[in-house]
Amino acid sequence: MNAKADHGVSALHLSSGRGFPDVCALLCDREAHANARDAEGAAPLHRAAEAGFEDVVRYYSCPEKKPQGFFRTETQQKKKWKYWQKQLFG
């Protein structure tokens, strides 16, 4: 969950920097480190702010409010998780 790729980038950095608040929420629910720093010293929140993804920044500011469209059942969550794994990691 907290593995890092080149330059210390984690899945949470990628999903934050690409504007996927539902993936960020899922990763955080699965105990991803929201304060992890990449090689440049940036946290996932910084990547979202730099890219202008207000939904992601809002999620980090108030994580108890799930993003709109967040999965409602465990089956939906598993399907969505598989989808985002494929999107982020190929």
Topology at the third CATH level for domain 6-89: 1.25.40
Q: Is the pTM of this model over 0.85?
A: no
- pLDDT tens, per residue, the chain with 90 residues: 666 777 788 999 999 999 988 888 888 888 888 888 999 999 999 999 999 998 888 888 876 665 554 545 566 666 766 776 777 666
Using alpha carbons only, give the angle 35, 38, 64 rounded to the nearest 5 degrees.
Answer: 25
- Backbone angles phi and psi of 69, in degrees to 5: 85, 5
Which positions ≥6 away from 33 have C-beta within 8 Å? 2, 10, 12
